[in-house]
Structures are given as structure tokens and as C-alpha cells.
A and B are shown apart, each in its own frame.
Chain A
Amino acid sequence: MKDKIRIASGSGFWGDLQSIPLQQVTKGQIDYLMMDFLAEVTMSIMQKQKKRNPAAGYAKDLIQIMKDILPHIAEKNIKVITNGGGANPMGCVEEIVKCAHKQGIKGLKIGVVTGDDILDSIDNLLKHGAGLDNMESGQKVTDVKERLISANVYFGARPIVEALKKGAQIIITGRTTDTSLTYAPMIHEFKWSWDDWDKLAAGVIAGHILECGGQSSGGNFLGDWRSVPDLAHIGFPIAEAYPNGEFVVTKHENTGGMVSVDTVSEQLMYEIGDPTNYITPECVADFTTINLEQQGKDRVRVFGIKGKPATDLYKVSMAYNDGYTAIGSLTYSWPDALEKAKKADEILRTRLSDLGLKFDEIRTEFLGVNACHGPLASEQNEINEVVLRVGVRSANHHDIEAFGKEIAPLILTGPPSVTGFAGGRPKANEVIAYWPALMPKKLVHPKVEIITT
């Protein structure tokens, strides 16, 4: 058994810095590279892409990334784990196999994890007691069942560990939890038992620290952000994990950013609810048991973590069509920038009403004044410019399109010193609403296949 393993974060979301994975595999020693690509509604976007083109539906960026890193991971035997397979893990793997062949890399084992997509079996699952009512609002699933675009179970580390056991060097999954990409290697390498709750929880917390990439190594840092060196060349976090469940958060030398107790603490707060019950498929982690200690420059030791037994339920991420939105904006300048923007908003609303258009909501914000902090923003006199931003939402596509036609005319028929309409008419966006639910684990099982290049 190894006495430690180094797991590096290569991506915090679909659209993150493309240069990072190559940096992580070349600028220092690592054993594993994990890349998270999936946010709440990402699966539904990918599902839509797959509907239009059966070969699509995964994180396209991943193909270029694999081209960049394949020779290095093959040479150094670095394992890669990612949920970038999205709605089409097998399609993603087929492209990676092509890349490997072009580069003359043979005999590489790729693990594919599927089975998370339950969209086509919902009726059957409901018959067997799947539930699937909205876990936040309590609303019945029958209200949205006909409008569903995607439905995916959040699998955890089990199928990834299975693929590792079968010798996979690259593992491409659909909807697995962000954290499982990090703790699956620990379970595999250190032979942790599935009821060793404290160690599993430690792995989960390492995963939480790594899953947002640069957000734990100095990016988006609200503390003394000026003190973060060379963000242009930020190094992404690496978890140096030990068999006893302790780990050190660090990054490669000669990269920018920083890893401190403060940067790690901020990431621990990211999108958490009750810190004593952070629920994952394999355990419930207690964030109030985490100890942090600065061990040296860009090294934070994390220890003392406690966990509790897993629940019998999987979380399910579903999405459904829920009407349309459009956003229009115009920029007004000094003198009286805000007063002009407010007048333009008033004129626009009168015209929308004269046209008989109906919206579920019209929302006006003044960027540069109060868009972020609403009533907490102090109104300043003499601001040089302000962006009027008006959003509308409706189930009626026609009304949304009609709104789009009313923005540009304000330039010639509203208050003066206005600009910023280069982008054209605001377009109707389809609203993909999120539907989180729970279902019994026994009703669904992940599938693991191995493809060899």
C-alpha cells in the first residue's frame, strides 16, 4: 500500500481554465487528476445537445484536454477521473479512444460509468416507490413529469472504485457527485472499508476542497485578496492524502495563487447547508469536526474529521422546461445617469403594458448602483454611468419576443446619452428549472464497463 497519494484538481466547472490539467500533470508529481464538469443544470443542457446530435452530450472541452495530457499520463501512469461524460459518457470515451489511437497510445484502459440516467424509466421507478417529489418544495413529481428534460441519479465513489479495481487508468462518468471523484482513489489505494465513516468523511471533505478548482487556492478569495500572488498563473489545489484519513491541501511549486487556512476555510463554506450533516452517497460528513493547520508555505493540514453512516437514499437531479426569460440592457451616462435609466425603465414598462404583454415577473436592476446588494447599496450622486438591466419571464414565447423588440427603440425615443446596444435584440431563453429529489438506492444500480485503447 502507498503511504500517500497526491490527487490534483484539474477543473472546477464546465468552462474552467483549459491550461490547468496539463499544468497539473507536468509541473510536479501527482498520482490522480480529478476534473469536475457538472453543475446542477449542466446535465439538462447536455441532454438537449444529445437530443440534437446523438454523438454529443458530454463536456467537449474534455477532448482537447485529453489530447494535451494523454502522452504525459500514459508515461507517468497518472490516473484521470472525471464526470465530464455528462449525458453521454460512452460518446465521450469513443472520442478519447480516437485521440489515443492518433497519438499511438495503445493498451490504455478506460472505465465508463453509466446507469445514472433514469429519464426513460421514471414511470417504472415511480411504480416501485421511487418518490421523486421535490425535496425542497414538497411539490408532486406528477406536476412536472411530462415536461422533464433530464433525470440523473448522483452516484458516489462505488462505481469509480470498481473501475479502478478493474485497472482503469481513465474513468469517465455521467452524474457522479463532485466529491466522489476525489475520495474514490483514497478508498481504492488505502483499502478503506465502506463503513469506516470517519475516513470516508475525510475523503468527502478533501473532495469538497478540490471540486471548485482555484476557489481554494486563492481564486475568488474575499479575505485579503490583494495578498494573493500571481493569479494569472494560479496553481489548482492538490490533496496529499494519507491512509489514516488526514490530508494536506497544497499546490505545485512555481505556480501562482496561495493555499492558506483562510483560503481553505472560505471554500469549506461554499454552498453548504447544515454543516453537521453534509450528505453524500457513501457517508454523512460533519464539517464542524474539521481542523485546519498551516504546515508551511502553501500547505494546509486537514485532520480530526468525523463522519456518520450513509442514508438509504440517492439524490436525483432533474430538470424540466418552465417557460422563457429575456434580459435587455442599455447604458446611460452622466449627467443624471441614474435618473435617465429610471425614466427609461418607466417608459419601457408603459409600452409593454400598452402592448398588452403579460409577464410572470419584470425585474429592473441598475448595474453600477444596486444590482448586487439591493437596498443595502448606498445611492451615490454624480455616478458617471449606469446599466439599466430589465429581465422578464413568461410561459408565452410571443410576449418574450415582443419585449425584445422594445429595448432598442428606447435609444431614439427615450432619455438621452444612451449606448450599449451592440449585442442586438434580447433573445428568449428557455428556462430549465431544477428539481432535486431523493429515491431509494436499491432501485437503481451503476454500470461499469472497461474499454481498452
Chain B
Amino acid sequence: MSKIKLIDIAHGRSGDKGDAANVGIVAYDDKGYEIIKKHLTTERVKKHFEGICFGKVERFEMPNICALNFLLHNTLGGGGTVSLKHDAQGKTLAAALLKMEIEI
């Protein structure tokens, strides 16, 4: 078993869809994609965002560009101009997911 940091094998981009945040994670190669596909389950991502994401997590696979797209529902404090959050659009949440460490 060895521990790797997600940020060493992937990058990504996040943004808002109403009160949901979309977090896209893109692996740098096919090997990295196999790792994120196996380890970034909806349960794992939901737990990672405990205290941030208060709704369900949906996951979509995009093997063509080695990417996974996550929808984090009930995450942005109401979203748009309703939200009191400094990051009301979830722009920094891709970086937050890349903080994760994975045992492989």
C-alpha cells in the first residue's frame, strides 16, 4: 500500500449550477483515470465534503477525457446572489477535492 495525493495525478475545474456545485476532476493519464474511477466513489466524495455538501452527490464518468464529473447538491448556501459564502460559486471546490489522499 502506498499513499498518493490526488493533486499529483489529476487537475480539474469547479463551478455553480444553482445551489449545486459541479466538481470536474481530470486525470493526467489513463492510469490516473483508473485510480480516480476506482477510489472517487460518491460515498467517498460525500464524506470528503462533510460540512460543505449537505445534499446528495452524483457522479458521471467521462473516460474519453479521463475525467469524472461530480454534482454536489445543496452545497453553495443557496447559490447565486442568495448565498452569503465568499466562494458562492464553488470555484475553489475542485482544489478542495484534490486535497484528498488515496491509499493504493
8 Å CB contact of A266 from B26, B82, B87: B26
Chain B interfacial positions (CB closer than 8 Å to A):
11-19, 22, 24-26, 28, 48-52, 60-67, 69, 71, 77, 79-82, 84-87, 92, 94-96, 98-99
A429 to B26, CA, bound (A): 37
How far is the CB of A375 from the nearest CB of chain B, in Å? Answer: 4
Interface range, A side:
35 or more
- A contact face: mostly helix, strand, loop, or mixed: mixed
A222 lies within 8 A of B95 (CB): yes
Closest to B70 in A: A269
Tell me which residues across on chain A come within 8 A of B64, comparing CB atoms: 288-291
- B contact face: mostly helix, strand, loop, or mixed: mixed
A269 lies within 8 A of B96 (CB): no
Known: A222-B98, A273-B22, A432-B80. 14 other contacts (CB 8 A): A266-B11, A270-B15, A273-B60, A275-B69, A288-B61, A365-B86, A372-B86, A372-B96, A373-B96, A375-B51, A376-B48, A393-B82, A432-B81, A433-B81
8 Å CB contact of B16 from A267, A271, A361, A391: A271
How far is the CB of A22 from the nearest CB of chain B, in Å? Answer: 28
Closest to B50 in A: A375
A271 lies within 8 A of B15 (CB): yes
A436 lies within 8 A of B18 (CB): yes
A336 to B44, CA, bound (A): 35
The proximity string for A residues 405-445 relative to B, scoring 1 for CB distances below 8 Å and 0 otherwise, is 00000000000000000000000010111101000000000
Q: Which A residues from 5 to 36 make CB contacts under 8 A with B?
A: none
B52 lies within 8 A of A270 (CB): no
29 interchain pairs (CB within 8 A)? Answer: A41-B80, A136-B19, A220-B13, A222-B98, A223-B28, A267-B13, A269-B12, A269-B22, A270-B15, A271-B22, A276-B60, A287-B62, A288-B62, A289-B64, A290-B65, A327-B84, A361-B77, A361-B84, A363-B84, A365-B86, A367-B86, A372-B95, A374-B51, A375-B51, A376-B99, A389-B86, A393-B84, A434-B18, A434-B79
Taking each of B52, B65, B66, B82, which has the highest tally of chain A beta carbons within 10 Å of its own beta carbon?
A: B65
How far is the CB of B32 from the nearest CB of chain A, in Å? Answer: 12
A268 lies within 8 A of B65 (CB): yes
With A266-B12, A365-B85 as contacts: A275 and B62 at CB distance below 8 Å? yes
Closest to B96 in A: A373
Tell me which residues across on chain B come within 8 A of A269, comparing CB atoms: 12-14, 22, 24-26, 67, 69
- Whether A144 sits at the interface, judged by CB under 8 Å, is no
